[in-house]
């Protein structure tokens, strides 16, 4: 199948190096300590953070750092065909683990000993790149909850189809079976915290594709930073004094 037309346009009309439109909103869940909605094109994810709070299971309590937990789920209505998946299926367990490890790497857990932080992410609309969208939403929610972070983690995916590196794959491109690289990136520290790839790529092409994903991460980071700064200013001036 042709994923990039001779004119250099993708199936949804984007250029190969173009991202989908991103939109973020802070404060979607009233009862949570921090929450956010993050959209990348038609992918829409909601994240809620609770904590740092008392550890629910005493045996998991750590005296030198906080316990970070993460739960990823997909709403039944999020995909094209409505299916009822059991809660702990292998895919969501794996993504929960990936998000937890990525977020734990940037949370300053040693500042909150004997407590736990819960991150809940749910996919409301799935159109490829849910993993990336979840990480971005979780970062926003953690920042909203006032949890100290080393840096903002942002994530973006890229792929390689029809001998062209493509940024931010959607569902159709994702399910084409080509390589799909998801990168989690710390923009200030200039470090990669997450790197996953399906299928395989020659090393020289892989470097290009990964660099493209990193550029995507930087763009997301700039947007998230704007949103957070605006939110902080709003809260401060509304409070007054």
Partner 1 sequence: MREIQLSLNKTQKIRLQRALEKLESLSSKVNANASVTIADSIPVSYEDGVLKGHGTLDLNGEVVATVCGVVERVNKLVYVRTLRARYKPEVGDIVVGRVSEVAPKRWRLDINYSQNAVLMLSSMNLPDGIQRRRTALDELNMRSIFEEDDVICAEVRGLQHDGLHLQARSQKYGKLERGQLLTVPPYLVKRRKQHFHHLEQYGVDLILGCNGFIWVGEHVEAKDDMVEDQVNKPKLQNIKSNSYSGTLEEQERTYTPIETRQNICRIANAVRVSAILGFNITAEVIMETVNLSSSLNLDIHEMLGSEFCVLVAEGEAERRSINKKG
- From 148, 205, 207, 222, residue interacting with partner 1 (rule: CB under 8 A): 148
Q: What angle do CA 59, 61, 62 make, to 5 degrees?
A: 130
Q: State whether the Cα torsion 222-224-226-229 is positive or negative.
A: negative
Interaction with partner 1 in 72-131: which residues (CB under 8 A)? 108, 112, 114-115
Q: How far apart are alpha carbons 155 and 192 in whole angstroms? A: 10
Degrees (nearest 5) of the Cα angle 185, 230, 38?
50
Q: Are 118 and 69 in contact (CB under 8 A)?
A: yes
Q: Where does this chain touch partner 1 (CB under 8 A) — which range of 12-20, 72-80, 96-104, 150-158?
A: 150-158
Q: Which is nearer to partner 1, 145 or 183 (CB)?
A: 145
Among 52, 129, 159, 216, binds partner 1 (CB under 8 A): 52
State both tokens at 241: 């004094």
**Residue of 145, 201, 210, 214 interacting with partner 1 (CB under 8 A):** 145
Among residue numbers 181 through 200, which ones bind partner 1 (CB under 8 A)? 187-189
d(CA 92, CA 85): 10
12 versus 230: smaller Cβ distance to partner 1: 230
Stretch that binds partner 1, among 79-87, 123-131, 194-202, 220-228 (CB under 8 A): 220-228
Q: Out of 48, 67, 143, 156, point to the residue binding partner 1 (CB under 8 A).
A: 143
| CA–CA separation, 27 and 36 (whole Å) | 5
Helices (H), 68-145: 90-106, 130-144
Sheet holding 191-198, edge to edge: 164-167, 154-161, 180-186, 191-198
Stretch of residues binding partner 1 (CB under 8 A), selected from 3-11, 122-130, 147-155, 207-215: 147-155
As measured in angstroms, the least distance from the Cβ of 231 to partner 1 is: 5
Binding-site member from 60, 93, 175, 232 for partner 1 (CB under 8 A) = 232
Q: Residue 59 CB, nearest distance to partner 1 (Å)?
A: 16
Residue 100 tokens, joined: 């937890």
Q: By CB under 8 A, is residue 228 in contact with partner 1?
A: yes
Residue carrying structure tokens 């739960």:
71
Binding site for partner 1 (CB under 8 A): 25-27, 30, 33-34, 51-54, 66, 108, 112, 114-115, 143-152, 187-189, 225, 227-241
């Amino acid at each position: 199948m042709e994923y990039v037309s001779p004119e250099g346009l993708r199936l949804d009309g984007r250029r190969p190096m173009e991202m989908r439109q991103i939109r973020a909103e802070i404060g979607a869940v009233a009862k949570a300590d921090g929450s956010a909605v993050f959209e990348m094109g038609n992918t829409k994810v909601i994240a809620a953070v609770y904590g740092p709070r008392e550890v629910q299971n005493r045996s998991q309590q750590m005296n030198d750092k906080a316990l970070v937990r993460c739960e990823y789920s997909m709403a039944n209505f999020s995909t094209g065909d409505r299916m009822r998946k059991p809660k702990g299926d292998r895919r969501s367990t794996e993504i929960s683990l990936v998000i937890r490890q990525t977020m734990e790497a940037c949370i300053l857990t040693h500042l909150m000993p004997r407590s736990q932080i819960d991150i809940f992410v749910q996919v409301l609309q799935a159109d490829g790149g849910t993993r990336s969208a979840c990480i971005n939403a979780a970062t926003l929610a953690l920042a909203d909850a006032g949890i100290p972070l080393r840096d903002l983690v942002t994530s973006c995916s890229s792929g390689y189809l029809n001998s062209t590196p493509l940024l931010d794959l959607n569902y159709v491109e994702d399910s084409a079976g080509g390589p799909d690289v998801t990168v989690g990136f710390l923009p200030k520290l200039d470090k990669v915290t997450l790197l996953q790839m399906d299928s395989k790529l020659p090393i020289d092409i892989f470097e290009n594709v990964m660099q493209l994903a990193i550029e995507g991460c930087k763009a997301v980071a700039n947007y998230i930073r704007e949103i957070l700064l605006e939110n902080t200013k709003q809260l401060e001036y509304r409070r007054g004094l």
